[in-house]
Amino acid sequence: MPRYLRPKTEGSIFFFTVVAFGRRKILTIENSRKILSNAVAEVRTQYPFSINAWVLLPEHLHAIWTLPEGDTDYSKRWGLIKAKFSKESKLLFHEEHSLTPSRNKRRETTIWQRRFWEHSIRDDEDFRNHIDYIHYNPVKHGLVQRVGDWPYSTFHSYVREGLYPENWGEGVSFSRDDSFGE
């Protein structure tokens, strides 16, 4: 059985991609957004972290988090968030017919993919590139024509803070080589 090693850099910044099981388009449904928001808030009270950027798409999400100094356990946080979401949304989204013996053995639902993808942010340029990628993602996936038209993103707070102009992203493109974990 392969062993997946995660970086153990303390107080670091990480980019994540987390995907719904089977890439089902369940995450932007109103109930899902509320359940996910509550799960994240609850976990943050117990295991603090800062959210630097976030985008929620129908079947996946991207986020950048900063963990506190001396703390490296983002896997625990994602595990708790996914478990809380799964528990609250099981009646809505669990598909018993898709449950495999492996998922059953691990007591998993059919709501999330088992693993997530993470990347340690290396420097300021890497940080900016990943933030731009997160905010441009709804356009990349053809969900909207303009970045500002997607409501489930930290882009709007970046505009309010003066970090992006409202029309940011017009004329921007990301190649397939810049897929950042998709």
Active site members: 152
Place of tokens 């053995």: 105
**CA-CA-CA-CA torsion for 101, 106, 107, 113, nearest 10 degrees?**
-90
**DSSP secondary structure letters along 107-139:** T--SSB-S--EEEE--SHHHHHHHHHHHHHHHH
Q: Where are the beta strands (DSSP E) in the chain?
A: 13-19, 50-56, 60-66, 117-120
57 forms beta bridges with: none
Tokens standing for residue 55: 């985008």
Distances (CA, A) of 158 to 96, 103, 121, 148: 41, 39, 19, 11
Kindly state the DSSP code that residue 151 receives in the 8-state scheme. Answer: S
